[in-house]
Structure 1
Amino acid sequence: MGDSLSAAYGIEQEQGWVSLLAERLDGDAQVVNASISGETTSGGAQRFADIIGQRQPDIVLLELGGNDGLRGLPPAQMRANLATMIEQSQQAGAEVLLLGIDIPPNYGQAYRDAFTGVYHSLAQEYELSLVPFLLEDIALNQQLMQSDGIHPTADAQPIILDNVWPALEPMLEETYQASSQ
Protein backbone atom coordinates (compact mmCIF):
# COMPACT_ATOMS: atom_id res chain seq x y z
CA MET A 1 0.00 0.00 0.00
CA GLY A 2 1.84 3.04 -1.18
CA ASP A 3 2.25 6.04 -3.40
CA SER A 4 4.29 6.73 -6.53
CA LEU A 5 7.46 5.35 -4.92
CA SER A 6 5.83 1.91 -4.92
CA ALA A 7 3.64 2.40 -8.01
CA ALA A 8 6.66 2.58 -10.37
CA TYR A 9 6.03 6.19 -11.34
CA GLY A 10 7.87 7.22 -14.50
CA ILE A 11 9.22 3.73 -15.24
CA GLU A 12 7.80 0.49 -16.58
CA GLN A 13 5.63 -1.32 -14.01
CA GLU A 14 7.75 -4.49 -14.17
CA GLN A 15 10.86 -2.44 -13.30
CA GLY A 16 9.40 -1.20 -10.00
CA TRP A 17 10.63 -2.57 -6.70
CA VAL A 18 7.27 -4.19 -5.90
CA SER A 19 7.41 -6.18 -9.15
CA LEU A 20 11.02 -7.08 -8.36
CA LEU A 21 9.84 -8.32 -4.96
CA ALA A 22 7.27 -10.56 -6.64
CA GLU A 23 10.03 -11.92 -8.90
CA ARG A 24 12.30 -12.57 -5.91
CA LEU A 25 9.52 -14.47 -4.13
CA ASP A 26 9.02 -16.54 -7.30
CA GLY A 27 5.50 -17.66 -6.53
CA ASP A 28 6.16 -18.41 -2.84
CA ALA A 29 3.84 -15.52 -1.96
CA GLN A 30 1.30 -13.45 -3.82
CA VAL A 31 2.23 -9.77 -4.04
CA VAL A 32 -0.59 -7.28 -4.55
CA ASN A 33 0.44 -3.71 -5.31
CA ALA A 34 -2.28 -1.35 -4.10
CA SER A 35 -0.13 1.73 -4.65
CA ILE A 36 -1.37 4.83 -6.46
CA SER A 37 0.77 7.75 -7.59
CA GLY A 38 -0.14 10.89 -5.67
CA GLU A 39 -1.74 8.97 -2.80
CA THR A 40 -1.78 10.62 0.61
CA THR A 41 -2.31 8.86 3.91
CA SER A 42 -5.87 10.22 3.91
CA GLY A 43 -6.64 8.66 0.53
CA GLY A 44 -4.94 5.44 1.55
CA ALA A 45 -6.93 5.26 4.78
CA GLN A 46 -10.17 5.71 2.81
CA ARG A 47 -9.35 2.80 0.48
CA PHE A 48 -7.66 0.57 3.01
CA ALA A 49 -10.54 -1.25 4.74
CA ASP A 50 -11.89 -2.49 1.40
CA ILE A 51 -8.46 -3.69 0.28
CA ILE A 52 -7.80 -5.52 3.57
CA GLY A 53 -11.26 -7.10 3.44
CA GLN A 54 -10.86 -8.27 -0.16
CA ARG A 55 -7.25 -9.44 0.00
CA GLN A 56 -6.86 -10.65 3.60
CA PRO A 57 -3.07 -10.30 3.53
CA ASP A 58 -0.64 -11.91 5.94
CA ILE A 59 1.77 -8.98 5.63
CA VAL A 60 1.08 -5.34 4.75
CA LEU A 61 3.88 -3.12 3.49
CA LEU A 62 2.75 0.41 4.29
CA GLU A 63 4.58 3.08 2.28
CA LEU A 64 2.63 6.31 2.53
CA GLY A 65 3.31 9.82 3.77
CA GLY A 66 5.60 11.30 1.14
CA ASN A 67 2.79 13.22 -0.53
CA ASP A 68 1.51 14.42 2.85
CA GLY A 69 4.98 15.84 3.48
CA LEU A 70 5.36 17.41 0.05
CA ARG A 71 2.01 19.15 0.59
CA GLY A 72 3.05 20.33 4.06
CA LEU A 73 0.14 18.53 5.74
CA PRO A 74 0.26 18.23 9.53
CA PRO A 75 2.34 15.25 10.73
CA ALA A 76 -0.32 14.54 13.37
CA GLN A 77 -2.89 13.99 10.60
CA MET A 78 -0.47 11.70 8.75
CA ARG A 79 0.16 9.79 11.97
CA ALA A 80 -3.56 9.31 12.65
CA ASN A 81 -4.17 8.01 9.11
CA LEU A 82 -1.23 5.59 9.27
CA ALA A 83 -2.33 4.43 12.74
CA THR A 84 -5.79 3.66 11.36
CA MET A 85 -4.31 1.49 8.61
CA ILE A 86 -1.96 -0.24 11.06
CA GLU A 87 -4.82 -1.00 13.44
CA GLN A 88 -7.02 -2.32 10.61
CA SER A 89 -4.15 -4.54 9.46
CA GLN A 90 -3.55 -5.92 12.93
CA GLN A 91 -7.28 -6.49 13.51
CA ALA A 92 -7.30 -8.51 10.28
CA GLY A 93 -4.37 -10.59 11.54
CA ALA A 94 -1.78 -9.05 9.22
CA GLU A 95 1.72 -8.02 10.22
CA VAL A 96 2.80 -4.55 9.14
CA LEU A 97 6.12 -3.42 7.76
CA LEU A 98 6.28 0.36 7.88
CA LEU A 99 8.35 1.96 5.13
CA GLY A 100 9.50 5.43 6.13
CA ILE A 101 10.35 8.33 3.89
CA ASP A 102 11.96 11.72 4.34
CA ILE A 103 11.25 15.04 2.68
CA PRO A 104 13.60 17.61 1.17
CA PRO A 105 15.51 19.92 3.54
CA ASN A 106 13.74 23.05 2.25
CA TYR A 107 10.73 22.13 4.41
CA GLY A 108 12.72 23.07 7.51
CA GLN A 109 14.31 20.90 10.14
CA ALA A 110 11.45 21.11 12.64
CA TYR A 111 8.90 19.86 10.10
CA ARG A 112 11.27 17.17 8.83
CA ASP A 113 11.91 15.94 12.38
CA ALA A 114 8.19 15.82 13.15
CA PHE A 115 7.53 14.10 9.81
CA THR A 116 10.16 11.36 10.15
CA GLY A 117 9.36 11.02 13.84
CA VAL A 118 5.87 9.78 12.89
CA TYR A 119 7.33 6.56 11.46
CA HIS A 120 9.57 5.91 14.46
CA SER A 121 6.83 6.58 17.02
CA LEU A 122 4.31 4.38 15.18
CA ALA A 123 6.83 1.55 14.89
CA GLN A 124 7.51 1.76 18.60
CA GLU A 125 3.87 2.12 19.69
CA TYR A 126 2.58 -0.74 17.52
CA GLU A 127 5.76 -2.86 17.76
CA LEU A 128 6.29 -2.83 14.00
CA SER A 129 9.29 -3.49 11.84
CA LEU A 130 10.46 -0.26 10.25
CA VAL A 131 12.56 0.64 7.25
CA PRO A 132 13.47 4.16 8.41
CA PHE A 133 14.17 5.58 4.94
CA LEU A 134 13.00 3.73 1.84
CA LEU A 135 15.30 5.73 -0.45
CA GLU A 136 18.48 5.24 1.61
CA ASP A 137 21.55 5.49 -0.66
CA ILE A 138 19.30 6.69 -3.51
CA ALA A 139 17.71 10.08 -2.77
CA LEU A 140 20.95 12.09 -2.85
CA ASN A 141 22.38 10.28 -5.89
CA GLN A 142 21.28 12.21 -8.99
CA GLN A 143 22.11 9.20 -11.18
CA LEU A 144 19.42 7.19 -9.36
CA MET A 145 16.74 9.87 -9.39
CA GLN A 146 14.46 10.96 -12.21
CA SER A 147 14.75 14.57 -13.40
CA ASP A 148 12.06 15.67 -10.91
CA GLY A 149 14.42 14.82 -8.05
CA ILE A 150 11.61 13.01 -6.21
CA HIS A 151 11.13 9.70 -8.00
CA PRO A 152 13.80 7.00 -8.30
CA THR A 153 14.87 5.62 -11.68
CA ALA A 154 14.58 2.03 -12.83
CA ASP A 155 18.24 1.54 -11.80
CA ALA A 156 17.30 2.50 -8.23
CA GLN A 157 14.54 -0.09 -7.88
CA PRO A 158 16.76 -3.08 -6.95
CA ILE A 159 18.37 -0.88 -4.26
CA ILE A 160 14.93 -0.04 -2.85
CA LEU A 161 14.14 -3.74 -2.70
CA ASP A 162 17.46 -4.33 -0.94
CA ASN A 163 16.51 -1.61 1.58
CA VAL A 164 13.19 -3.37 2.29
CA TRP A 165 14.37 -7.00 2.20
CA PRO A 166 16.26 -7.23 5.55
CA ALA A 167 13.10 -6.20 7.43
CA LEU A 168 10.70 -8.16 5.22
CA GLU A 169 12.53 -11.49 4.97
CA PRO A 170 12.10 -12.50 8.65
CA MET A 171 8.41 -11.60 8.43
CA LEU A 172 8.02 -13.82 5.37
CA GLU A 173 9.83 -16.70 7.06
CA GLU A 174 7.64 -16.37 10.15
CA THR A 175 4.47 -16.30 8.04
CA TYR A 176 5.63 -19.29 5.99
CA GLN A 177 6.43 -21.30 9.12
CA ALA A 178 3.06 -20.45 10.67
CA SER A 179 1.16 -21.50 7.53
CA SER A 180 3.02 -24.79 7.16
CA GLN A 181 2.17 -26.00 10.66
Structure 2
Amino acid sequence: MRTWWVGGAVALMLWAQGAMAGTVLVVGDSISAAFGLDTRVGWVALLEKRLADEGFDHRVVNASISGDTSAGGLARLPALLAQHRPQWVILELGGNDGLRGQPPAQLQQNLASMVDQSRAVGAEVVLLGMQLPPNYGARYTGAFAQVFSTLAEEKKLPLVPFFLDGVGGVDGMMQADGLHPALGAQPRLLDNVWPTLKPLL
Protein backbone atom coordinates (compact mmCIF):
# COMPACT_ATOMS: atom_id res chain seq x y z
CA MET A 1 0.00 0.00 0.00
CA ARG A 2 2.81 2.38 0.90
CA THR A 3 4.57 1.71 -2.41
CA TRP A 4 1.35 2.49 -4.24
CA TRP A 5 0.98 5.76 -2.33
CA VAL A 6 4.54 6.87 -3.03
CA GLY A 7 4.12 6.05 -6.71
CA GLY A 8 0.81 7.87 -6.77
CA ALA A 9 2.29 10.89 -5.06
CA VAL A 10 5.12 11.08 -7.57
CA ALA A 11 2.68 10.79 -10.45
CA LEU A 12 0.52 13.51 -8.92
CA MET A 13 3.52 15.78 -8.43
CA LEU A 14 4.63 15.31 -12.03
CA TRP A 15 1.12 15.97 -13.26
CA ALA A 16 0.92 19.16 -11.19
CA GLN A 17 4.26 20.39 -12.49
CA GLY A 18 3.11 19.77 -16.04
CA ALA A 19 -0.15 21.58 -15.37
CA MET A 20 1.68 24.56 -13.91
CA ALA A 21 4.10 24.65 -16.80
CA GLY A 22 1.36 24.82 -19.39
CA THR A 23 1.39 24.91 -23.15
CA VAL A 24 1.65 27.82 -25.55
CA LEU A 25 -0.05 27.04 -28.86
CA VAL A 26 0.90 29.14 -31.87
CA VAL A 27 -1.62 28.99 -34.71
CA GLY A 28 -0.26 30.85 -37.69
CA ASP A 29 0.78 30.87 -41.32
CA SER A 30 4.11 30.91 -43.15
CA ILE A 31 5.56 33.68 -40.98
CA SER A 32 5.34 31.52 -37.85
CA ALA A 33 6.13 28.36 -39.84
CA ALA A 34 9.47 30.02 -40.74
CA PHE A 35 8.92 29.66 -44.46
CA GLY A 36 12.21 29.45 -46.35
CA LEU A 37 14.17 28.83 -43.16
CA ASP A 38 14.94 25.98 -40.81
CA THR A 39 12.10 25.98 -38.28
CA ARG A 40 14.71 25.70 -35.53
CA VAL A 41 15.72 29.31 -36.16
CA GLY A 42 12.20 30.74 -36.54
CA TRP A 43 10.72 33.11 -34.00
CA VAL A 44 8.57 30.38 -32.42
CA ALA A 45 11.66 28.27 -31.72
CA LEU A 46 13.32 31.38 -30.29
CA LEU A 47 10.28 31.86 -28.05
CA GLU A 48 10.74 28.38 -26.64
CA LYS A 49 14.40 29.15 -25.93
CA ARG A 50 13.61 32.47 -24.29
CA LEU A 51 11.02 30.86 -22.05
CA ALA A 52 13.62 28.35 -20.87
CA ASP A 53 16.26 31.05 -20.42
CA GLU A 54 13.90 33.09 -18.24
CA GLY A 55 12.92 30.15 -16.08
CA PHE A 56 9.56 29.25 -17.61
CA ASP A 57 8.96 25.54 -18.02
CA HIS A 58 6.31 25.98 -20.67
CA ARG A 59 5.93 23.84 -23.77
CA VAL A 60 5.53 25.57 -27.12
CA VAL A 61 3.54 23.90 -29.89
CA ASN A 62 3.93 25.44 -33.33
CA ALA A 63 0.78 24.61 -35.29
CA SER A 64 1.52 27.05 -38.10
CA ILE A 65 1.12 26.07 -41.75
CA SER A 66 2.42 28.01 -44.72
CA GLY A 67 -0.40 29.42 -46.81
CA ASP A 68 -3.00 29.06 -44.09
CA THR A 69 -5.91 31.49 -43.84
CA SER A 70 -8.16 32.39 -40.95
CA ALA A 71 -10.72 29.91 -42.31
CA GLY A 72 -8.10 27.17 -42.36
CA GLY A 73 -7.02 28.00 -38.83
CA LEU A 74 -10.61 27.99 -37.64
CA ALA A 75 -11.16 24.55 -39.17
CA ARG A 76 -8.00 23.17 -37.53
CA LEU A 77 -8.44 24.74 -34.12
CA PRO A 78 -10.87 22.33 -32.39
CA ALA A 79 -8.55 19.36 -32.90
CA LEU A 80 -5.52 21.39 -31.78
CA LEU A 81 -7.26 22.50 -28.60
CA ALA A 82 -8.37 18.96 -27.81
CA GLN A 83 -4.92 17.51 -28.46
CA HIS A 84 -2.70 20.07 -26.73
CA ARG A 85 -5.02 21.65 -24.13
CA PRO A 86 -3.10 24.94 -24.17
CA GLN A 87 -3.19 27.61 -21.52
CA TRP A 88 -2.21 30.28 -24.08
CA VAL A 89 -3.06 30.58 -27.77
CA ILE A 90 -1.19 32.97 -30.05
CA LEU A 91 -3.15 33.76 -33.21
CA GLU A 92 -1.00 34.83 -36.16
CA LEU A 93 -3.39 34.65 -39.08
CA GLY A 94 -4.92 36.98 -41.62
CA GLY A 95 -2.04 37.85 -43.92
CA ASN A 96 -3.10 35.35 -46.55
CA ASP A 97 -6.71 36.48 -46.27
CA GLY A 98 -5.56 39.97 -47.13
CA LEU A 99 -3.23 38.95 -49.94
CA ARG A 100 -6.15 37.09 -51.51
CA GLY A 101 -8.47 40.05 -51.14
CA GLN A 102 -10.92 38.25 -48.90
CA PRO A 103 -13.53 40.33 -47.03
CA PRO A 104 -12.18 41.83 -43.78
CA ALA A 105 -15.53 41.12 -42.12
CA GLN A 106 -15.05 37.41 -42.75
CA LEU A 107 -11.53 37.56 -41.32
CA GLN A 108 -12.85 39.24 -38.20
CA GLN A 109 -15.61 36.65 -37.83
CA ASN A 110 -13.17 33.75 -38.19
CA LEU A 111 -10.72 35.20 -35.68
CA ALA A 112 -13.54 35.96 -33.24
CA SER A 113 -14.68 32.34 -33.43
CA MET A 114 -11.12 31.17 -32.74
CA VAL A 115 -10.93 33.45 -29.72
CA ASP A 116 -14.24 32.15 -28.37
CA GLN A 117 -13.25 28.51 -28.86
CA SER A 118 -9.90 29.04 -27.17
CA ARG A 119 -11.46 30.78 -24.21
CA ALA A 120 -14.07 28.05 -23.92
CA VAL A 121 -11.29 25.62 -22.96
CA GLY A 122 -9.71 28.10 -20.55
CA ALA A 123 -6.93 29.44 -22.77
CA GLU A 124 -5.80 33.06 -22.89
CA VAL A 125 -5.44 34.47 -26.39
CA VAL A 126 -2.84 36.85 -27.79
CA LEU A 127 -3.67 38.42 -31.16
CA LEU A 128 -0.90 39.39 -33.57
CA GLY A 129 -1.98 42.23 -35.82
CA MET A 130 -1.06 42.40 -39.48
CA GLN A 131 -0.96 45.09 -42.16
CA LEU A 132 -0.92 44.92 -45.95
CA PRO A 133 1.36 46.64 -48.47
CA PRO A 134 -0.05 49.94 -49.76
CA ASN A 135 -0.54 48.59 -53.28
CA TYR A 136 -3.76 46.93 -52.09
CA GLY A 137 -5.37 50.36 -51.86
CA ALA A 138 -6.03 52.62 -48.91
CA ARG A 139 -9.64 51.54 -48.43
CA TYR A 140 -8.92 47.81 -48.28
CA THR A 141 -5.67 48.06 -46.31
CA GLY A 142 -7.37 50.33 -43.79
CA ALA A 143 -10.32 47.98 -43.33
CA PHE A 144 -7.96 45.03 -43.04
CA ALA A 145 -5.79 46.65 -40.37
CA GLN A 146 -8.88 47.74 -38.45
CA VAL A 147 -9.97 44.12 -38.01
CA PHE A 148 -7.31 43.45 -35.41
CA SER A 149 -7.77 46.57 -33.29
CA THR A 150 -11.55 46.23 -33.39
CA LEU A 151 -11.46 42.58 -32.41
CA ALA A 152 -8.98 43.27 -29.60
CA GLU A 153 -11.24 45.99 -28.24
CA GLU A 154 -14.42 43.95 -28.49
CA LYS A 155 -12.92 40.80 -26.99
CA LYS A 156 -10.58 42.57 -24.53
CA LEU A 157 -7.58 40.83 -26.08
CA PRO A 158 -3.87 41.44 -25.62
CA LEU A 159 -2.82 42.76 -29.04
CA VAL A 160 0.50 43.16 -30.82
CA PRO A 161 -0.62 45.97 -33.15
CA PHE A 162 1.73 45.10 -36.01
CA PHE A 163 3.60 41.81 -35.76
CA LEU A 164 6.00 42.76 -38.57
CA ASP A 165 6.93 46.11 -37.03
CA GLY A 166 10.57 46.82 -37.88
CA VAL A 167 10.58 43.94 -40.36
CA GLY A 168 8.07 44.53 -43.14
CA GLY A 169 9.53 46.75 -45.83
CA VAL A 170 12.85 47.10 -44.00
CA ASP A 171 16.01 46.49 -46.02
CA GLY A 172 17.64 43.18 -45.17
CA MET A 173 14.79 41.97 -42.98
CA MET A 174 12.77 40.22 -45.66
CA GLN A 175 13.58 37.32 -47.94
CA ALA A 176 13.92 37.87 -51.69
CA ASP A 177 10.18 37.36 -52.23
CA GLY A 178 9.43 40.43 -50.12
CA LEU A 179 6.75 38.53 -48.20
CA HIS A 180 8.57 36.39 -45.68
CA PRO A 181 10.89 37.53 -42.88
CA ALA A 182 14.56 36.68 -43.26
CA LEU A 183 16.74 34.91 -40.71
CA GLY A 184 17.90 38.17 -39.18
CA ALA A 185 14.30 39.26 -38.60
CA GLN A 186 13.34 36.34 -36.37
CA PRO A 187 14.66 37.85 -33.10
CA ARG A 188 12.80 41.08 -33.89
CA LEU A 189 9.56 39.17 -34.40
CA LEU A 190 9.99 37.58 -30.98
CA ASP A 191 10.79 40.95 -29.45
CA ASN A 192 7.55 42.29 -30.92
CA VAL A 193 5.54 39.55 -29.21
CA TRP A 194 7.39 39.12 -25.91
CA PRO A 195 6.31 42.29 -24.05
CA THR A 196 2.65 41.40 -24.62
CA LEU A 197 2.98 37.69 -23.92
CA LYS A 198 5.28 37.64 -20.88
CA PRO A 199 2.88 39.31 -18.38
CA LEU A 200 0.30 36.62 -19.16
CA LEU A 201 2.55 33.67 -18.34
TM-score under structure 1 normalisation? 0.94
The residue matched to 2:59 in structure 1 has which SS?
A: coil
Structure 1 residue 142 corresponds to structure 2 residue 171:
yes
Unmatched 5+ residue regions in structure 2? Answer: 1-26
The residue matched to 1:32 in structure 2 has which SS?
A: strand
Structure 1 residue 170 corresponds to structure 2 residue 199:
yes
Unmatched 5+ residue regions in structure 1? Answer: 173-181
Contact 1:3 1:36 in 2 (8 A): yes
The number of equivalent residue pairs is 172
The residue matched to 1:60 in structure 2 has which SS?
A: strand
Shift of 1:114: 0.6
Identity, in percent, stands at 55
1:98 aligns to what?
Answer: 127
Structure 1 runs of 4+ with >6 Å offset: none
TM-score under structure 2 normalisation? 0.84
Contact 1:120 1:130 in 2 (8 A): yes
Rg larger for:
2
Hey, which of these two has a bigger chunk of strand by percent? 2
Shift of 1:54: 1.1
What letter matches 2:44 in structure 1?
V
1:109-156 per-position Cα deviation (integer Å, ceiling 9, x unaligned):
111111011100110111000001111011121201001101000100
Structure 1 residue 121 corresponds to structure 2 residue 150:
yes
Shift of 1:2: 0.1
Shift of 1:79: 0.7
What letter matches 2:47 in structure 1?
L
Structure 1 residue 22 corresponds to structure 2 residue 51:
no
What letter matches 1:140 in structure 2?
G
- The one of the two structures with greater contact order (alpha-carbon pairs below 8 A, sep at least 6) is 1
Partners of 2:150 and 2:120 lie apart in 1 by: 20
